[in-house]
Structure 1
Amino acid sequence: MEDLSQYPLELPESDKPMVRFQNVTKRYGALTVLDDLNLDIAEGEMVSIIGPSGSGKTTVLRMLMLERIQGGVIYVDGKPLTHMQQRGRLVQASEKYLRQAREPVGMCFQHFNLFPHMTALQNCMEGPVQVLGMSKKNARERSEELLELVGLIDKKDQHPSRLSGGQQQRVAIARALAMRPKVLLLDEVTSALDPEVIGEVTEVIKGLVSAHNLTIMMVTHQMGFAREISDRVCFFFGGKIEEQGAPADLFDNPQRERTQQFLSAVKSAD
């Protein structure tokens, strides 16, 4: 069993990123998918994660929302997410603790995952009412504000089947934001979209960052999207961060051979 005494019970204000992965390891059986990952995401930062299939990039998001880890600690807003305090030390988090600790984190999936029998407005209202215990009146007001923000207030009474892919993705983003997350995770949110509607989703995400001071972690295969929208890009390879930096630096002047090979292969595929 891992010695957790090296990890603080909470991060001090002087050293408190919005998200911290500290020595995080994730395994599936004998396969190590994330290997001793250390990564800080500042409040309000937009970080894109790129890399070949199997490099561990989507697993980074899943550790925050869906799965447990086998080593290290993840902190969100200074508090441990994967562990909880017990008698002055950190122990593996209970399911109840995990549900509460994950409340500041929202996630948008590649294939939207909207409820097909609900309208756009009802999709956005469901979480605040059922999970946060918000009144339907307040949930409706919040949801309408967010649908306005993503440019879809005129579609609020439409079911997902009546919306385009880009519109469905914008509803999914509004639904995630209705839970008032501090951290928004975007998993390949443009990969199922036609190229002409990627721009509209890009503009929506840019607007959300400035309007809500959101911290965003995004996994994407689309390098142009990552370049345009990110403050920082992390290239993953073999469960580790091979290289990271500002988009212009990483895309135009990659320092590591594996990064160069990956970007060259992506450019050739385009």
Structure 2
Amino acid sequence: MEDLSRFPLRLEGPDAPMVRFDHVTKRYGDLVVLEDFCLDVAEGEMVTVIGPSGSGKTTVLRILMLERIQEGVIYVDGAPISHMEKKGRLVPASERYLRRAREPIGMCFQHFNLFPHMTAIQNCMEGPVQVLGLSRQDARERAEELLEMVGMIEKKDEHPSRLSGGQQQRVAIARALAMRPKVMLFDEVTSALDPEVIGEVTEVIRKLVHEHRLTMLMVTHQMGFAADISDRVCFFYGGRIEEQGTPEELFGNPQKERTQQFLSAVKSAG
């Protein structure tokens, strides 16, 4: 069993990150996807993760929101989410603790995952009513405000089947924001979209970056988009961060050979 005594019970102080992966390992059976992974994301920072298929980049998002880890500790807003305190020490989180600890995190998936039997506004109201305990009136007002922000207020009474892919993704972003997250995760949110509607969704994310102090982690294969909106870009290879830096540094002057090869291959494919 892992010795957890070396990990703090909380992260405190003005320089504490909003998200910390502290020596995290994630395995699926014998397959090690992330090994001794460390990453801090500051409050309000937009970090984009790029890399080849199978490099572990999407797993970074999944262990924040959906899956357990085998080693290390994950913190969000100072508190451990993968573990909980018991008698002055960290122990693996219970399911109940895990659900509550993940409440400050919102996630938008590649395939929208909207409730098909609900309208756009009902999709955005469901979480705040059922999880946060908002009244239906307050939840409706919040949902309308967010649908307005993502340019979908005129489609609020439509079901997902009557919306385009770009429209569904914008509703999915509004639904995630309705939970008032401190951290937003975007998993290849444009990869299932037709090229002509990708701009709709990227514009919404740009707006979030510029107008809201949200901490964001995004996995994308769109290098131009990553270069445009990120504070920092991390190139993943073999379950580790091979190289990271500002978009100017990573795209303009990559230092590692694997980074250079990947960016060259992406450029050639484009």
TM range (shorter): over 0.9
Q: How far did 1:222 drift? A: 1.2
Matching residue's letter, 1:223: M
Residues 30-68 of structure 1, C-alpha deviation per residue, up to 9 Å, x if partnerless? 111001011000111111100011100000000000111
Matching residue's letter, 1:218: M
Q: Which residue of 1 aligns with 2:240?
A: 240
Q: Which residue of 2 aligns with 1:255?
A: 255
Contact map agreement 2:26 2:35 (CA 8 A) in 1: yes
The CA distance in 2 between the partners of 1:208 and 1:14, in whole Å, is 24
Which shifted more, 224-233 or 141-150?
224-233
The CA distance in 2 between the partners of 1:249 and 1:22, in whole Å, is 25
> How many residues are treated as equivalent by the alignment?
270
Which shifted more, 19-28 or 6-15?
6-15
5 Å-filtered alignment, 1:83-94, equals: 83-94=83-94
Q: Which residue of 2 aligns with 1:127?
A: 127
Contact map agreement 2:18 2:78 (CA 8 A) in 1: yes
Matched position secondary structure for 1:14? coil
Q: Which residue of 1 aligns with 2:98?
A: 98
Contact map agreement 1:114 1:172 (CA 8 A) in 2: yes
Q: How far did 1:212 drift? A: 2.5
Q: Which residue of 2 aligns with 1:221?
A: 221
5 Å-filtered alignment, 1:125-204, equals: 125-204=125-204
Matched position secondary structure for 1:213? coil
Gaps of 5+ in 1: none
Matching residue's letter, 1:201: V
Q: How far did 1:153 drift? A: 0.6
**% identical equivalent positions:** 79
Residues 189-208 of structure 1, C-alpha deviation per residue, up to 9 Å, x if partnerless? 01011222222211111212
Instruction: Tell me the TM-score normalized by structure 1.
Output: 0.98
RMSD: 0.8
Contact map agreement 2:69 2:82 (CA 8 A) in 1: yes
The CA distance in 1 between the partners of 2:49 and 2:238, in whole Å, is 13
The CA distance in 2 between the partners of 1:207 and 1:29, in whole Å, is 40
Instruction: Tell me the TM-score normalized by structure 2.
Output: 0.98
**Runs of at least 4 residues of structure 1 off by over 2 A?**
209-212
Contact map agreement 1:104 1:180 (CA 8 A) in 2: yes
Residues 151-198 of structure 1, C-alpha deviation per residue, up to 9 Å, x if partnerless? 111110111111111111000000000000000000000101122222
Matching residue's letter, 1:29: G
Matched position secondary structure for 1:180? coil
Q: Which residue of 2 aligns with 1:48?
A: 48
